[in-house]
Amino acid sequence: MISAPVRLRRPGGDFDAVPVAEDVHWIGALDPTLRSFDIILKTANGTTYNSYCVRGSEGVAVIDTVKAEFADEFFSRLEQVARYDEITTIVLNHLEPDHTGALPELLRRAPQARLYISHRAPLMLKGLLKHDGESLDFTTVTQGDSISLGDRSLRFLHTPFLHWPDTQCTYLVEDGILFSGDIFGCHFCDPRLFNDKVGDFRFSFEYYYQHIMRPFREHVLAALPLVEALELNLICPAHGPIHRDAPRGYVKRYRQLAESQLANEARQRDKTLVIFYISAYGNTAVMAQAIKDGAESVDGVRVSVYDLQGGEVTPFVDLIEEADGLAIGSPTINGDAVKPVWDLLSCLTQVPLKGKLGAAFGSYGWSGEAVGMLEDRLRGLKLRVPCPGIKLKLIPTGEELADCHAFGRNLALQLTGQAAFRVVDIAELA
Amino acid sequence: MPKAQVLFEDIGVAVTVPAGTRLIEVSEKVGAGITYGCREGECGTCMMKIVKGMENLANPSMLETKVLQEQMAGRQNRLACQAQVLQGEVVVRPG
């Protein structure tokens, strides 16, 4: 049974703003009953939509807002710490609706406030506000830009794709407070708010990284040096607990998570090709072996073969994340590739795939649609698929296995940059 | 119909195409590593580098120019979903 919402509510009905530092308040909202976020995430502990108010000697800044249905809670908290006519600055670190839902009303109540968004955000702002977007005035900012609140200043860190193109972080320079947006956040609702007070949220932190940030791993690694260079007294993310105790530990953990999931002794020296297959009568398995042999005939390629029936999806996804190339083999049953193959491919959006080599192969009885379908899926996942897939009817002949061997060799030549230059007419392409 | 040729450097394949073809129409078919997002010139995901033959592409639209600026693109970058090959040889690679 889901418990009733806890909202840090005063007896009179107002919601309390929570001080996080001198003249810095949390003014967000608690959503303890949420059990699924953005469809893709389970949220056993609900979530928070964190918004912050920073007061300087010459201005008041609001950093991020909340999901639209929690606007009343947000405004109630904001009104505890600032008048609307005092607000000079609104910063959006990320424009996803769970952080911008209260923005239109905030702009209406504080029309004098200047809106600051990353230079990647204007098109999204227009998409979000639609009718209001045409007349909306804003300032775009990027790495190193700063704005003054008098005795305090906000400096911006350009951290795109964490996890949308528009994402940025905002740093309160004099206090060493990082308003990090979604990075270092998690879906974990606990009204005690601070990491040294709330329940154990480690699983939520790791789960959030795996599902939200992992697909953008290279962008995490690009952003971390910007954060690591800062003095950090507090990390105030847009979801979940505020990191007050040992905030730098969360930055270190992000580095661990974003660096290689599996130590790979071949890295730097060899290219890696992973071959996954599933086989009803052993024919696709034989093809996989021939492709492996062909690929291994090229120096500088480390090849691994896995039977999908013998393993779980998660470790296979880890292997693919680290590999340079992926070949996948499936028989065709009832005009389709088989479910374990689709199960694996449906999980690959969790990892960066851009630029990897992809290939498909398989034996079939009647029609052999699986290979083409898999190639389409690999392209859809943004792999390059330079070698047309190989399919054959039922039991491979010696000649067909030689074709598989050549196919594997071609994949290896592609991986090592040794493939022969080809000229084709567009009419020859599928 | 006049022809042009696009060489995808990352996979070592040159494709002969009719003049006026957009890069997006070719790169996915041939399996090149250029990746796409919105496919409408707004997201910038398909930004590619023109290694050679920029003069053989149609000039960028106002939208493409704006998005390239937002992406802090260099002078050799174009969006593959927008760029049209007009003539001669164009050499491209992802990113």
CATH number, domain of A224, equals 3.60.15.10
For residue A422, give the chain B residue with the closest CA. B13
Span B66-92, mean pLDDT?
Answer: 92
Span A72-77, mean pLDDT?
Answer: 96
Q: Of the candidates A32, A99, A31, A96, which has an alpha carbon nearest to the alpha carbon of residue A62?
A: A99
Span A105-129, mean pLDDT?
Answer: 91
Q: Is there a contact between A77 and A28 (Cβ–Cβ < 8 Å)?
A: yes
Check whether A4 has a pLDDT greater than 60: no
> Residue A231 CB: number of other CB atoms within 10 A?
11
Both A233 and A348 in one domain: the answer is no
Among partner residues B17, B42, B70, which is closest to A119 by beta-carbon distance?
B70
**Contact residues on chain B for A424, CB-CB shorter than 8 A:** 13-16, 30
Check whether B88 has a pLDDT greater than 90: yes
- The predicted structure's pLDDT at residue A3: 42
Per-residue pLDDT band for B17 (boundaries 50, 70, 90) equals: very high
The pLDDT > 70 percentage for chain A reads: 93
* Domain termination residue (choose one: A214, A237, A258): A258
CA dihedral B27, B32, B34, B35 (to 10 degrees): 90
Check whether A230 has a pLDDT greater than 90: yes
Per-residue pLDDT band for A46 (boundaries 50, 70, 90) equals: very high
> What are the pLDDT digits (tens) for A270-288?
899 999 999 999 999 999 9
> What are the pLDDT digits (tens) for A293-341?
999 999 999 999 999 999 999 999 999 998 999 999 999 999 999 999 9
Give me the CATH number covering residue B58: 3.10.20.30
> Residue A366 CB: number of other CB atoms within 10 A?
11
**Element (H or E) spanning A275, and its range?**
strand A271-277
Q: How many Cα atoms within 13 Å fall on the side-chain side of residue A140?
A: 15
Both A234 and A379 in one domain: the answer is no
3-class DSSP state for residue B50? strand
* Domain termination residue (choose one: A258, A284, A301): A258
Q: Which amino acid is at A264?
A: N
Please give the model's pTM, rounded to 2 decimal places: 0.81
Both A140 and A26 in one domain: the answer is yes
> What are the pLDDT digits (tens) for A204-220?
999 999 999 999 999 99
Whether residues B35 and A354 touch (CB distance < 8 A) is answered with: yes
Check whether A6 has a pLDDT greater than 70: no
Q: Is there a contact between B51 and B9 (Cβ–Cβ < 8 Å)?
A: yes
Instruction: Please give the DSSP secondary-structure letter assigned to residue A92.
Output: -
> What are the pLDDT digits (tens) for A11-25?
666 689 999 999 999
List, in order, residues 6 or more apart from A364 with CB less than 8 Å away: A331, A332, A370, A391, A392, A393, A394
Whether residues A421 and B15 touch (CB distance < 8 A) is answered with: no
Q: How many Cα atoms within 13 Å fall on the side-chain side of residue A142?
A: 8
**Contact residues on chain A for B26, CB-CB shorter than 8 A:** 426, 429
- What CA–CA distance (Å, rounded) separates A280 from A362? 11
Give me the CATH number covering residue A327: 3.40.50.360
Q: Of the candidates A294, A285, A318, A297, which has an alpha carbon nearest to the alpha carbon of residue A396?
A: A285
Which tokens go with A345? 């491919």
List, in order, residues 6 or more apart from B69 with CB less than 8 Å away: none
Domain with B48, as residue range(s), is 3-94
Both A220 and A300 in one domain: the answer is no
Domain with A131, as residue range(s), is 18-258
3-class DSSP state for residue A60? strand
Residue A423, in any domain of the structure: no
Instruction: Please give the DSSP secondary-structure letter assigned to residue A210.
Output: I
Whether residues A379 and B28 touch (CB distance < 8 A) is answered with: yes
**Element (H or E) spanning A256, and its range?**
helix A248-258
Residue A222, in any domain of the structure: yes
Residue A426, in any domain of the structure: no
- Number of separate domains in chain B: 1
- The predicted structure's pLDDT at residue A264: 58
- The predicted structure's pLDDT at residue A177: 98
